[in-house]
Amino acid sequence: MNLNKTCVVLIIIVAFAGIAFAGTAYGENQTPVGMRETWIRPTQTHVGMTGLTATIRVRIKNNKDHVQYFRISHVYTGSLAAGDKIEWVINWTDPAAIKMIDAVSPELGGDYGWRINPGETKDVAFRVNAVGGMGEIPDIILNPDAVDNRWWPLIPAPGLMASWFQPNEIEVLNPNLDLKSWKGTFTFLLTNHDSRTVSGIIRAPIVPVDSKLTYSNPQATFTDRDMVMNSGIAAWDVTIGADASRWFRYTYEWPIPFPTPPDPGIGIAAAVPKPIAPPTPTVPTREAGLPLGLFVIGGVLAAGGLIYARFIDKQTA
């Protein structure tokens, strides 16, 4: 009887110890997205981006039983640091946009958009160009999570940061509008303002997540997948001479086709299926912690052990 009870107690202890150890091991080894490399905050940059434009083509459907309107936004914040933004003015629209009865950004030319009838699917296109930073004023995107340097003698040089956004945000803002497709082409001019040749990695300044890189010129050196989930950020390894400039152009499309081809590795982003709902964690992470299922298993083992011990007591009493 004592031997049986001792075995049960040992089983319970080993089970909980194994669960706790597994949780700790997974939690320590799981690297959070975007933190695989430490970014050191620069005190000076030798290059800047200007002439940023975005040409957007969308197909959108009105699922409501009455007319709806949607319009072009003049302000982009995406994943930029708090307080940072890129402002835009409209260059052209197709079909011709109509002026809205109210304006969110009157200082940027007023708000223009389209009327969409009940059940209608509409195709629209427009081009906007940045004003201020990344427009006529050279600018770059900095990593908001970068830290001051306190290491020596070697530190990483990850290059220029990117920013990202959800291309189908309109569906969250107005669930009655169903975005069927989205295609965006971006251009920018990179200029070296230093008196010497500089080299490093630059990344696309604006990237839609859950999207596929379908074109880049020059061809992207690689697609960076360490920044954010479900995105392949176009990145270029550049060497640019003193006071020299170079144009860049790239295109993303949403949604990603399914099934998708394998990742060719260079110059094009691999297709990532769009998740319908966040999956239930099956392994611990620093964010998710230990899965509930493991606690349930541990509880069942403990309860079973106690019941078994009491049963043995009654049988031997």
Query: Does pLDDT of 135 surpass 70?
Result: yes
pLDDT category at 27 given cuts 50, 70, 90 is very low
What one-character-per-residue DSSP string does 157-211 give? ------EEE-TTHHHHH-TTEEEEEEEEEEEEEEEE-SSS-EEEEEE-SEEETT-
pLDDT value of position 36: 73
b/e string for 40-50 if b means 16 or more Cβ within 10 A? beeeeebbbbb
- What is the rounded average pLDDT for all residues in the chain? 81
pLDDT value of position 230: 80
Q: Is 243 left (phi over 0), alpha (psi -120 to 50) or beta?
A: left
- Give bridge partners of residue 58 from the DSSP assignment: 124, 182
Question: What percent of the chain stands above pLDDT 90?
Answer: 67
Q: What does the domain layout of the chain look like in residue ranges? A: 2-30+288-316, 47-203
pLDDT tens digits, one per residue of 40-60? 999 999 999 999 999 999 999
pLDDT value of position 228: 81
Which has the higher per-residue pLDDT, 198 or 300? 198
**Tokens describing residue 197:** 């040749």
pLDDT value of position 69: 98
Question: What percent of the chain stands above pLDDT 70?
Answer: 70
Query: Does pLDDT of 237 surpass 50?
Result: yes
**Tokens describing residue 274:** 């769009």
The amino acid sitting at 220 is: A
pLDDT tens digits, one per residue of 78-127? 999 999 999 999 999 999 999 999 999 999 999 999 999 999 999 999 99
Count the residues in the chain. 317
